[in-house]
Chain A
Amino acid sequence: EAQVTQNPRYLITVTGKKLTVTCSQNMNHEYMSWYRQDPGLGLRQIYYSMNVEVTDKGDVPEGYKVSRKEKRNFPLILESPSPNQTSLYFCASSFMSQMGAQQKGYTFGSGTRLTVV
């Protein structure tokens, strides 16, 4: 089954304790992205990657890191989590067309609900 898999689904952690949320896709998609979803603010892009070893900041990158060492994996790293990073996080992936623009939309993972206390 074609899917984007995130782990963990739920995580409660303490301020300052480094954590990693994993994301893996089995569709051979080039483009991968992380979003956070907050009430009243909708989905906001954190980071994205257009290929292995190619990553760039989205709209709200502060406090986050990513890496893309393999095509299928795109982990989100919080080096020193803070309470304002409590949110619902989604990983998404898509094909990159030769036209250089979005053609098929994103496939989303099921989400990771993170609470930082």
Chain B
Amino acid sequence: GESVGLHLPTLSVQEGDNSIINCAYSNSASDYFIWYKQESGKGPQFIIDIRSNMDKRQGQRVTVLLNKTVKHLSLQIAATQPGDSAVYFCAENRNSGYALNFGKGTSLLVTP
């Protein structure tokens, strides 16, 4: 079936470096993608989204890149800080409608 997956389950980066978290999706009909951040003991929080008619979108210290040709999504975090340590999920809408299909998550650990 259709799925959203992540290339790496864990990522360790040094404070101040840039982080890149990757996500592959298989549903070519998906037209809306979201990145969520989940800190320990909390629910997922919206970071940034992107529509399929765009290939790049920037927020504060974060950039999402979408490559529809290879069905790949990435989240770039600039100047990673200790507060960025969390699990990051990508999500796609499923064949339109309101249901979101979530990837299994990448754990980002920021070391001093």
Contacts and interface: CB of A to CB of B under 8 A. Distances in A.
Contacts of B103: 42
A50 interface: yes
A52 interface: no
Given A101-B31, A102-B32, A109 B43 contact: yes
Interface in B31-72: 31-32, 34, 36, 41-46, 49
Interface string A13-44: 00000000000000000010101000011110
**Of B44, B98, B100, most A-chain CB atoms within 10 Å:** B98
B51 to A, nearest CB: 9
A40 B107 CA distance: 12
Contact of A103 (B32, B42, B44): B32
B43 A108 contact: yes
The range of chain B's interface size is: 20 to 34
B96 interface: yes
Interface size class of A (residues with CB under 8 A): 20 to 34
Contacts, number: 62
Interface in A49-102: 50, 58, 90, 92, 94, 96, 100-102
24 contacts: A4-B43, A33-B98, A33-B99, A43-B44, A43-B89, A43-B102, A45-B99, A48-B98, A48-B99, A90-B43, A96-B98, A101-B32, A101-B93, A101-B96, A102-B98, A102-B99, A103-B32, A105-B46, A106-B44, A107-B46, A108-B43, A108-B45, A110-B43, A111-B41
A-B residue pairs, 6 tightest by C-beta: A108-B43, A42-B104, A43-B102, A102-B93, A101-B96, A105-B34
Given A33-B99, A101-B96, A102-B99, 19 more contacts: A42-B102, A42-B103, A42-B104, A43-B89, A43-B102, A48-B98, A48-B99, A50-B98, A94-B98, A101-B31, A102-B32, A102-B100, A103-B32, A105-B36, A105-B46, A105-B49, A106-B46, A111-B41, A111-B42
